[in-house]
Amino acid sequence: MIQYAIDFILVSGLVIGMTAMMGVFANGAGQFIFRGKKQSESVSRSLSIQSGWNKIKRD
């Protein structure tokens, strides 16, 4: 019975882990394939908004 519990825990951990990793890989592949020509649009927009701001000095 203990062997069954150990097998069950191992298999369930692998299934949950593989499912989580598939989501991460699918998200990365989707962003890589479908990002198009506007991949740096938000970065360039943010830099253009912040271009006249004063720098903050940290101690």
pTM: predicted TM-score of the whole model, two decimal places? 0.51
Give the model's pLDDT for residue 11.
97
Phi and psi angles of residue 27, each rounded to the nearest 5 degrees, phi first: -65, -45
Per-residue tokens: 19: 């499912």
Report d(CA 14, CA 9) in Å as an integer: 9
What pLDDT shows up at residue 7? 97
CA 29, CA 33: separation in Å to the nearest integer? 6
- pLDDT tens for the chain, residues 1 to 59: 999 999 999 999 999 999 999 999 999 888 888 876 676 777 888 888 888 888 788 86
Cα–Cα distance list, 29 to 16, 24, 26, 56 (Å): 20, 9, 5, 38
- Please report which helix (H) or strand (E) contains residue 25, including its range: helix 2-34
State the pLDDT at residue 46.
86
